[in-house]
Amino acid sequence: MKILVTGASGFIGGFLCPVLEKAGHSLVLVVRSIPKLQSGNRKYVAVGDIGSLTDWVTLLQGVDAVIHLAARVHVMSETADDPVSEFRAVNVCGTERLARQAAEVGVKRLVYVSSIKVNGAATLGVSFRADDVAQPLDAYGVSKFEAEQKLVKISAETGLEIVIVRPPLVYGPGVGGNFIRLLKLIDWGLPLPFGGVDNHRSLINVDNLCDFLNVCVSHSNAAGQVFLVSDGHDVSTRDLILGLAREMRKSVWLLPVPIDMLIIVGKLFGKQAEVDRLCGSLQLDIGKTRRMLGWEPRFSLVDGLQKTVSWYVSQNCRGANT
C-alpha cells in the first residue's frame, strides 16, 4: 500500500514510519517543516501549518490510505488569546480539508489519531469505552471531537473509510510533557509527594500504538469504527514512579501526602490540571479493540519503561559529556 503520513517526523511519526516500511508499505512523509536531523534516506514534504487552505491533491495521488497524526497538541501553558479557535483551525479545519481532498482523489481509508480527551478527563470507577457519549472538557478535546464528527460526515457523503483511534498518554523514547518531568525528578533524587496516590491510569507505549495503527490501516473490521487503545495494564502514579526508579537504579522517597492537600497546593500555584492528572484515574476499556481486530499489546508496561529509561539515560549521559 501507499500511505501518506502526516506529522511524520514527530514523536509518534518517528516510530510509525519504520513500522510501516517494515510491513512493506511505501510512504509519503508529510511534515510542517523539514527536520534538521533526518533519519535514513527518508524524504519529507513540508506543507507548513495545516489548515482549511492546505492543498493535498498532488501529494495524495496514488495514495491508498492516510494516517493523520499532525495536530495542534494540548499544551500545559496556553498563550493563545482564543485557544479554541487555534485548535479548530488545525485540528478541525485542517483535518476536514485533508479528508475531503483524500476522498476526491480516491483514497480508500483515513486513520485519524484522536485522543482519549474526547471521552473526558478522568474516570471514577468505570473505564471509558469507545462507544461512550463524548464529554470533552478542554479546547483540545473539543477540537478532536469536532474533527471526528467532520470525518464521520465526510465518510457518509463520500464513502471514505474512517478509522478513529483515541489513545491515552503515549510514552517512549523522546517523550515530553509530564512524563519527562517525572523522569527528571526521579533522577534528581527529590522527595515526591505521591506515596498516598492509589489511582489507576491507562498508558500506551509508542511501539504498541504504532503496531496498532499498522493494523488499522488495512484491517477490514476497522472501517467506520472508533477504537480505544492502551498497554492493557493500568498503573498508579506511585507504582509508575517506583517502576521508573527501578529501571533507573535510583532510590526514590515517596511522601504519603494526602491527595486533598496536593489538590489545594495545586490550586494555589496554578498547577491544578497537573495535580489532577497525577492523582486522578483515567482508565480505558480496550475490549472492543481486542474483539473486533484481534489485537493485543505486543509490548508490556515493563518493556516500555525499560526502553524509555534507556533512552533517557543515554540522552543524559550524552549531554553530560558534551
Active site positions, annotated: 140
Cβ–Cβ < 8 Å for 49, 240? no
Q: Count Cα atoms within 13 angstroms, Cβ side, for 145.
A: 19
Q: Say how far apart CA 261 and CA 240 lie, in whole Å.
A: 21
Give the H/E segment covering residue 168. Answer: none
Q: Say how far apart CA 60 and CA 71 lie, in whole Å.
A: 19
Lookup: cell for 189: 533524587
Q: Which of 7, 105, 6 is nearest to 63 (CA)?
A: 105
Lookup: cell for 96: 476536514
Q: How far are the Cα atoms of 159, 247, 252, 255 from residue 186, in angstroms, in the given order?
A: 50, 11, 6, 13
Cβ–Cβ < 8 Å for 201, 178? no
